[in-house]
Each structure stands twice: as structure tokens, then as C-alpha cells.
Amino acid sequence: MEASRGNVQKAEQRAGMKKTEKTNKKRSKQDEEEEEEEDQLFNLNNKSLEEDEDLSDSEESVYSGLEDSGSDPDEEEEEGEDGGSDDDDEDEEDEQDQNEKSTVKKSKKKEGGDEEKEVKKEDEYDHDTSDEEDIRNTVGNIPMEWYKDFPHVGYDLDGKKIFKPIRNKDELDDFLDKMENPDYWKTVHDKKTASDIVLSEEQIELVNRLQKGQFGDVNFNEYEPTVEFFSNDVMIHPVTNRPADKRSFIPSLIEKEKVSKLVHAIKMGWIKPRRVQDDSRGRFYDLWANEDSSILAKHKMHLPAPKIPLPGHEESYNPPPEFMFTDEEKALWEQQDPSDRKLPFIPKKYPSLRQVPAFSRFIHERFERCLDLYLCPRQRKMRVNVNPEDLIPKLPKPKDLQPFPTTQALVYRGHSGLVRSISVSPSGQWLVSGSDDGSVRLWEVCSSRCLKTVQVGGAVKSVAWNPNPSLCLVAVTVDSAVLILSPALADKQVISASERLLSAQQEEGPSEGSQPVVWSEMEGEELNQGIRLKIQHPKPVHQVTWHSKGDYLASVMPDHSSHMQVFIHQLSRRRSQNPFRRNKGLVQAVSFHPIRPYFFVATQRSVRIYNLVKQDMTKKLQANSKWISSIAVHSGGDHVICGSYDCRLSWFDLDLSTKPYKMLRHHKKAVRSVAYHRGYPLFASASDDGSVIVCHGTVYNDLLQNPLIVPVKVLRGHVITHDLGVLDVTFHPTQPWVFSSGADATIRLFT
């Protein structure tokens, strides 16, 4: 660094001079070896040259980069000329000291520094690893112990032995020498020459300075102000204005050759592209590939610690008065178990925040917080977020399920007692009703005109119109008798056909007097009214129902104690039989299957289905209700609805299960009657709450599709009388109309 700095200074000085002697610039090729060393300097020189000469001589500045070595001889000459300056000398000396190698080249020498140089050499060569040889002893850099047993320590330049000085100093002598010799402390032993050397003052001083970590040269100022090569200002001229080489624009021929060789090699297949690492062998494999993803998910699941609720007003140091405890609240708080308290502390008021004391329960609270964290459940409870709306099955709108009865159209008035039962003729033109006032009335459906009234002399529990359209008969239950009525409201042929059926001679006649059921023909006044036959039962009959062919009818006498609860009568042969030997419970209602020889018997809790041909029970339906009131069978025969006194209506799909497919609890009070429509997908239920609920019930032929049940309409109109509302409901056979009879002695038609 010293040298370079010196050079810079010289260059600057010289730059000034060079301006004057611009013209006699010449090129000299000497000192080739130095050129390399100082290459860097020349560049710097050039820069300064250019800076100064830029305007005056463009030619020189252009080629200055090429002529960099040319200035060196000038420099040498100039140095020679003005060698008198002190700065120069010192610099030279420093350079010599530092470099140590170029001693030969510099002609100038200083006598005063010779001795010092020697001393320094001794010092340095002891530890220096450089290949500079000590010329006084030619043994080289070897451990001097090797010459321990010899009288000499090596050889000088002339090949003569350097003999050790005769030394017979022992420890004592040494000690004495140390005590007596004042120069002892500055005497060092030179192992190479095996001689003692007494250091001079300068040498000692140098040693001291070095020991202190100072520079060896006294005059060296280590804190000299720096002279910057470059200013930190951005100059208008570039550092080097050398134009780019032509070769930087020309594609390199060598490279081209190399590339073409490679290309050729690739083409010939000599060079193969690097093989793709084949991982299929399983060098790497997914450790968790077979891991259950749910386990991974569980591990991934982040469970945040429970948060402390934010402080409220009552935790304020100055809570609003409504948060302060009253006396009762305070007393209550103190009485309560700590776990029951609403607040874990009593709100307190302080005039200022400064007066709030330290929180006495701090540790306790932190402990509880830790408990909270520690006891926090580490498993996430999977809560299903379901919109309640979605759980409701998508049902079609009632509007789309037209037609169904919506409004009351006609009221059939005439009865004076509650109308227990109604039935519609198969043609849909007539309606028969039986009432507690002891009359059976026949109505024209379309005009609500009562065409006939038949007094039967007793409360009518049940009426049933024969479903066979080629017959015109009505079965009526009065007390313990079933009356067969011929209303004569049909074509003459139909009337005569029913007459023939009724007058057909019984085969057995009253042969067995012990028959529980007695058939008898009516006479006189009752015959004029149209009552043709009387089937006397042992007990009050509650229900009568026809088989779809119209020859058989079944009657029900609910009685716990008897096994004779159900009778099946055959009209054409005037025969009755009790199909059941044993009492299986209180029979509520019976019904024939519309197509197959099945018979439905509803007891209080269940519905039994009997096969009349095989004479055994095929199925038992559990209604899940306390007391079945009524039963209706779908016209297809595969579905049954039951109404019960505990407000329910249960729909059974016989193909599906013996349990109800659906329970409808729309009524507020006991369901009295249920009915299916013969053609339309409708069913209705009548209840003591005075309403008739009409539901849409589509039945699919496809066994996989469950029936679609949609409540479509609540029909009101009947007045609740004596806690009884609607007692019977039945559909019109062809129109989507429903009839209902009520305790208010009316029958209503809803269309």
C-alpha cells in the first residue's frame, strides 16, 4: 500500500509536468518485469492523465489504454532528477523496509540505516518462513540442535566452518554475568552464529515499539490523512473511455467449434442426455401414503385454547352504579358456592386508577387459567351444522296437488241428532246418513235434497251403501240389528236385481235354532219404508261394512268378554258366520280387502290381516297408538290408514313393514274416521276438533318409491256439539269431494 500511495503522489506531480512536455513523449520498452507489477498503477496514472488532458489531446486519450507502460522511464528519470525531496526519500525507504526483496534494484542507499537493517534481519530471519537465506551461515533453516555436538555451527559463504565461540559458562557464570554485566539484559544469543550480540539503543527501542504494537519506524504516521484515488463525486468523464472490443461483437470461433463438436457428438449418440432419475424403484417413498387420512386430519386439527372472556363493565375500577352490588346481591354472593357465583368477584369502585390495589388473587387466577388450558378438551366435538329447513322433506306445494276439496259447498240439514255415519252410493248420486235421532236419510248429492227418510226406531251407529253398482242396498245398524234397506233409488233393473238377491231363498233356513244371528224378513210398515231384512245380533252392533262384490257384509260387536265380535254375513244365502274362535282384543273396526280375500280387523292397538281363504292371519300391524278408532283400506289394497283416539293417523304400507310408514298428528282431538278416495290420491280424517283434514297421498306402483303424503287442506265447518266434532267422513266416488257428518246434525259437502 505504501508503494502504491507513493506512486500516486508521484503521478500527480508528474501529471503537472507532463502537460508542459506533451510533445516529446516517447515509448520505451525497458523494465519489462516492473511493468507487470505496476500495471494497476499505470491504469490509475492514465486516469489522471486523461482527466487533465482530455480537452487538449484527444488522440493521446484514445490510446492511453494501450500506452500504459510508456510513462515508467520518465518517472525514473524524474525521480533521479528531483531526488532531493524528503518525502520521496522516506517513501523509498519505507518501500524497502516493507518489501525486503528489491534491495538490488534501487541504487540509492542510506548509510545510517545499515546497522538497523542487520539487526532487523537477525530478528526477522529467526521466524521468517521465506526462502531468503541467511548468507552468514549457509546451513539453512534447520534446527541448530543438530550442531549441538559439533564444534562449529555451520559454514560461511566460503565453505569454512563457523566455529562456536569457546564458551564454558555454566549457570553460575551466567548468573554472575547477569548480576554484573550491565549489558546483560540487552545481550541476545544468535544461534546461527552462536555468538552473543549486544543490542544497540535503536534496536532496543525498535523492540520496545514492536512489543507495544507500534510501527517499527518512528517517523511513520499511521494516521495520515487519506488521499483518495477516486473522489466520491460522480465525474462527468468515465473511468475508462475505452471502446468495447471488436471481439465482443463477433461470435467466438473457438466457442463455435466447441459447440459444433458437442452438437456432433450428441447427434452421433456419443453424448447421452443425463438419465432421468427413476424413482419408481422406490428410492423415495411416501411414508404416510397408507396412513389413514382421518388420522392425519386429526393431527392437523388446530384446537385453539379457550379464550378468556373480555372484561366487562363490572370489572372496571369505576363501574357504573348499576353494576355495583346491592346488599342483597352481596349477601347472596357471599352465600353462594364459588362455583355457583355469576361473578367471581365483587365489583368495587375506586376514585382513581392509582388507588386500585394489586390484584390479590392474581396467582390463583393464573392457576385457574392454566387449569383451563390443561383441562381443555383436546378433541373437537363434531357439531353438524344443519339448517333446520333442510331437514324438512321437500314436499310439493298443495297448489300443485289439485284437485282436492277446498270449500264447503252444500250442507245437508234435516237430522235432529248427531249424524254418526254416512255413505255414498257407488254412482255418486245419493248419500245415506244414519243419525242418533233414529232415522236414516237418503239425500240427493247435487242438491242436498233429502229424498227419503226411513225411521228405524233406534240410534243408527253405522250405515253402508252396497259398493256393487248393480245393486242398490244399504246396510244400517240399529242397536243389535243390521237392517238391509232397499232405497229404490236406481234403475228398475238394479232395483229388481237387489230384490232378487234379497228374496233368494235361504238354504238352511232356521234349521239351527241355536244360531246367534237371526235373519228375518220385514213386513208391513217397515217393508213400505224399504227395510227388507233384519239380521238380529246378540249384542249391539257398532259397525257394518260391505265386501266390494256386495254379497258379503261384516258387522262388529265390540265386546271384551266374547269371542263373537265379528260376523260375516252372506246376503244371497242368508248365512252368517263368526270367523274367529278366539277373542284377540276389543275389535274396533273391520274392513274387507278391495281385491283379495283379506279381512282387516282393527283392535285397540293393532290391525290384524286375515286371509279368508286360508283362514289364517297373514300380518299384524302395530299402530303405535292407544286406541284405534277407524280403518280405511286403499283401493289398491296395499295401504291402510288408521285413525286413533289419541289424535293420530297412521299410514301403513303393507309391503313395507308392520310399523306405520307415517304418523300424522295434525288433529287436536280424537280422530273419529278416516277415508280414502277411490280414484284420486286423497285421504281424509275427521276429528272431534271439528275439522276434516284432507291429505294428498300418492301411491306408486314402483315398490321402491314410498307413498307421497302431503296434508293439503283443513276443512272446517262443523260446530262442535257436546265435545264431539266430525263423526264420519267419506269421499265422493268419482269427484274430489268429501262428505263429513258431525255432531251438529249436519252433513257437509266440501268441493
Partner 1 sequence: MSQLQARFFTEDQRYVVDDVPFSIPAASEVQDLSNVINKLLEAKHASHSRVEFDFLVKGQFLRTQLATHMETEGISTEDVVEIEYVQRITAPEPEECIMHDDWISSVEADSEWILTGSYDKTARIWSLEGKVVTTVAGHSDVVKDVAWVKRDGLTSLLLTASLDQTVLLWEWNSERNQVKARHCCRGHTGSVDAISTDPTGSKFCSGSWDKMLKIWSAVPTEEADEVEESADRPRKKQKTQQLGLTRTPLMTLSGHNEAVSSVLWCDSEEVCSASWDHTIRLWDVEAGVMKTTLSGSKVFNCISYSPLCRRLASASTDRHIRLWDPRTKDGTLVLLSLTSHTGWITAVKWAPSHEHQLISGSLDNLVKLWDTRSCKAPLYDLAAHEDKVFCVDWTDSGLMLSGGADNKLYTYKYSAAQTDAGA
Residue 491 within binding range of partner 1, rule CB under 8 A: yes
Binding segment for partner 1 among 200-208, 317-325, 399-407, 465-473 (CB under 8 A)? Answer: 399-407
Residue 703 within binding range of partner 1, rule CB under 8 A: no
Residue 242 within binding range of partner 1, rule CB under 8 A: no
Give, in order, the Cα–Cα distances in Å from 66 to each of 23, 32, 223, 484: 18, 15, 37, 143
Burial 183-210 (b: 16+ CB within 10 A, else e): eeeeebeeebbbeeeebeeebeebbeee
Quote the CA–CA distance of 341 and 361 in Å, as a whole number: 16
Residue 751 within binding range of partner 1, rule CB under 8 A: yes
CB of 504 to partner 1, least distance (A): 14
CB of 635 to partner 1, least distance (A): 17
CB of 506 to partner 1, least distance (A): 21
With beta carbons less than 8 A apart as the criterion, state whether 482 and 475 touch: yes
With beta carbons less than 8 A apart as the criterion, state whether 662 and 727 touch: no
Residue 307 within binding range of partner 1, rule CB under 8 A: no
CB closer to partner 1, 85 vs 447: 447
Residue 505 within binding range of partner 1, rule CB under 8 A: no
Residue 734 within binding range of partner 1, rule CB under 8 A: yes
DSSP helix/strand/coil, 14 = helix
Nearest C-alpha neighbor of 465 from the set 411, 428, 439:
428
Beta bridge partners of 441: 433, 453
Residue 451 within binding range of partner 1, rule CB under 8 A: yes
Locate 568 and state its grid cell. 260375516
DSSP helix/strand/coil, 152 = strand
Candidates 265, 409, 595, 714: give the one binding partner 1 (CB under 8 A).
409
Residue 721 within binding range of partner 1, rule CB under 8 A: no
CB of 726 to partner 1, least distance (A): 21
DSSP letters for 214-267: --S-TT--TTPPP--SS-SSPPSS-S--PPPPGGGTSPPHHHHHHHHHHHHHHH
Binding segment for partner 1 among 15-23, 138-146, 446-454, 713-721 (CB under 8 A)? Answer: 446-454
Residue 503 within binding range of partner 1, rule CB under 8 A: no
CB closer to partner 1, 89 vs 491: 491
Candidates 429, 453, 536, 570: give the one binding partner 1 (CB under 8 A).
429
Q: What is residue 614's DSSP assignment?
A: T
CB of 472 to partner 1, least distance (A): 12
Residue 528 within binding range of partner 1, rule CB under 8 A: no
Q: Binding residues for partner 1, how many (CB under 8 A)?
A: 21
CB of 391 to partner 1, least distance (A): 35
Dihedral pair phi/psi, residue 483, rounded to 5°: -105, 140
What mask, x for binding partner 1 by CB under 8 A, covers residues 564 to 603?
----------------------------------------
C-alpha R_g of the chain:
66
CB closer to partner 1, 141 vs 734: 734
Residue 447 within binding range of partner 1, rule CB under 8 A: yes
Residue 401 within binding range of partner 1, rule CB under 8 A: no
Dihedral pair phi/psi, residue 542, rounded to 5°: -100, -30
> Taken in order 702, 707, 710, 713, is the CA torsion positive or negative?
positive
Candidates 4, 195, 427, 548: give the one binding partner 1 (CB under 8 A).
427
With beta carbons less than 8 A apart as the criterion, state whether 543 and 484 touch: no
Quote the CA–CA distance of 441 and 439 in Å, as a whole number: 6
With beta carbons less than 8 A apart as the criterion, state whether 639 and 627 touch: no
CB closer to partner 1, 193 vs 448: 448
CB of 406 to partner 1, least distance (A): 9
Residue 272 within binding range of partner 1, rule CB under 8 A: no
Give, in order, the Cα–Cα distances in Å from 346 to each of 146, 312, 314, 343: 96, 13, 8, 7
With beta carbons less than 8 A apart as the criterion, state whether 546 and 466 touch: yes
Which residue, chain included where needed, has cell 282387516? 600
Candidates 274, 283, 399, 492: give the one binding partner 1 (CB under 8 A).
492
Candidates 448, 468, 673, 685: give the one binding partner 1 (CB under 8 A).
448
Give, in order, the Cα–Cα distances in Å from 470 to each of 497, 548, 552, 554: 7, 12, 15, 20
Residues that bind partner 1 (CB under 8 A): 402-403, 407, 409-410, 427-429, 444, 446-449, 451, 491-493, 496, 734-735, 751
